Amino acid sequence: MPPIIFVRHGETDWNRQGLIQGTIDTDLNETGRAQAQAVALALLSRREELRAYDFIVSPQRRAQDTMAAINAWQERPAELIRTEPLVRELGFGIWEAKPFWELKASPIYPADAEERYYWRPEGGESYEDGVARIKILLDRLENPTLIVAHGAIGRCLMGVIGNKSPAEIVNLKTPQGCYCQLQDGAIAWFDANKLTA
């Protein structure tokens, strides 16, 4: 498995308000744009190394704009950045645009972490579905890769590479304004603001 750098998109107003985004396209807010810039600057010190990396991004706008900020400093031709539907965010079906607290308070939402891994909301996807997508992607990777995507699909990515259990996958942290090095089964997060302070 080649090394992977994973970046979750910067903050959106929906993130701030605790709303479920899923497949809905949302824009970075001011904080999110600052987070994207901080990650871009943190990765600048690795520009020579990243020349050997493929760049992959979710088709959703919040990820696209985060990747654009990173690439502005990497100076890679835009046509070399691959938009990849396999790393789009998990679909949350009928729960999209609703607050997370409402989902968590619903009796249909499993209290057990392992059950949440297999739970598929009406019209949406489960974490198991996301892991299946990620396995297809990883089977196709030939080179070191930088991936800009989302929180839930990022958990699936880290879970597969880190060989995590279903219960562990749904509880993995995916902070914004950071990047994650995934290599040899290890998961290491780096806070961009601390790296550029």
Assign domain 4-196 to its CATH architecture. 3-Layer(aba) Sandwich (3.40)
Confidence check: pLDDT of 120 > 80: yes
Smallest CA-to-CA distance from 49 within 74, 29, 81 is with 74
Residue 164 tokens read as 């995590």
Catalytically annotated residue among 11, 89, 96, 125: 89
Kindly indicate the confidence band of residue 193, based on its pLDDT and cuts at 50, 70 and 90.
confident
Catalytic residue status for 11:
no
Confidence check: pLDDT of 35 > 60: yes
Give the mean pLDDT of 140-155.
98
| pTM of the predicted model as reported, rounded to 2 decimal places | 0.95
CA distance 95 to 102: 9
Q: Give 179's DSSP letter.
A: E
Digit-coded pLDDT (tens) for 52-81: 999 999 999 999 999 999 999 999 998 999
Catalytic residue status for 89:
yes
Catalytically annotated residue among 9, 96, 125, 150: 9
Q: In sequence order, which residues have a C-beta less than 8 Å from that of residue 113 and are 6 or more positions away? A: 166, 167, 168, 170, 171
CA distance 78 to 142: 20
CA distance 114 to 116: 5
The confidence score (pLDDT) of residue 163 equals 97
